[in-house]
Amino acid sequence: MSDVLLSRYQIIRELGSGGFGDTYLAKDLALPGHPPCVVKHLKPKDTAPSALAVAKTLFEREAEYLYRLGKHDQIPSLYAHFEEGGEFYLVQEFIEGEELTQELLPGKPLSEERTINLLREILEVLAVVHKENVIHRDIKPSNLIRRKRDKKLVLIDFGAVKEIGALTVTAAGQTTMTRGIGTPGYMPSEQAQGKPRLASDVYAVGMVGIQAITGLSPDRLTEDPNTGRLLWHDRAQVSDRLANILDRMTHEYYRSRYQDASEALQALMSETEFSPPLSQVRTQVAYVPDVASKQSGGLLKLLKIVFSVAIGGLATGAIAGIILLNRPSSSPPVVFDTPTPTPTIEPTPRETTSPTPTPEPTPEVTVSPTPTDTPEAQVPDEPSPTPTVEPTPTSETPETTVATVLNPGTLVRDEPSPTGKILCPVRSVRTINTYGETNGWYKTDICGTMGYIHQSQLTFDRRSDAE
d(CA 226, CA 61): 41
CB atoms within 10 A of CB 356: 16
Half-sphere exposure of 398 (CA within 13 A, CB side): 0
Q: Has 138 been annotated as catalytic?
A: yes
Instruction: List all residues 6 or more positions away from 137 whose beta carbon is below 8 Å from its beta carbon.
Output: 158, 159, 160, 162, 181, 182, 191, 196, 200, 201
Q: Where are the beta strands (DSSP E) in 297-429?
A: 401-405, 410-413, 422-426
Instruction: List all residues 6 or more positions away from 218 whose beta carbon is below 8 Å from its beta carbon.
Output: 184, 185, 186, 207, 210, 211
Q: Is the alpha carbon torsion for 34, 40, 46, 50 positive or negative?
A: negative
Q: Is 56 annotated as a binding residue?
A: no
DSSP letter string, 41-110: EE--S---HHHHHHHHHHHHHHHHHHHHHTTSTTSPPEEEEEEETTEEEEEEE---EEEGGGTS-TT-PP
DSSP character at residue 277: -
- Count how many residues are written for the chain: 467
List 28, 46, 138, 157, catalytic entry = 138
Specify which residues 211 forms β-bridges with: none
CB atoms within 10 A of CB 214: 23
Question: SS3 of 39, please?
Answer: strand
- How would you classify the pairing of strands 230-231 and 36-42? unpaired
CB atoms within 10 A of CB 339: 13
DSSP character at residue 236: S
- Long-range contacts, 214-223 (Cβ 8 Å, 24+): 214/109, 215/104, 215/105, 215/106, 215/107, 215/108, 215/109, 215/110, 216/106, 217/106, 217/185, 218/184, 218/185, 218/186, 219/184, 219/185
Closest CA relative to residue 91, chosen from 78, 72, 104, 100: 78
Closest CA relative to residue 263, chosen from 83, 70, 123: 123
CA-based angle 450:262:428, to the nearest 5? Answer: 55
d(CA 123, CA 260): 9
CA-based angle 352:356:360, to the nearest 5? Answer: 130
List the binding residues for ATP. Answer: 40
Q: Which sequence positions are flagged as catalytic?
A: 138
- Binding-site members are 40
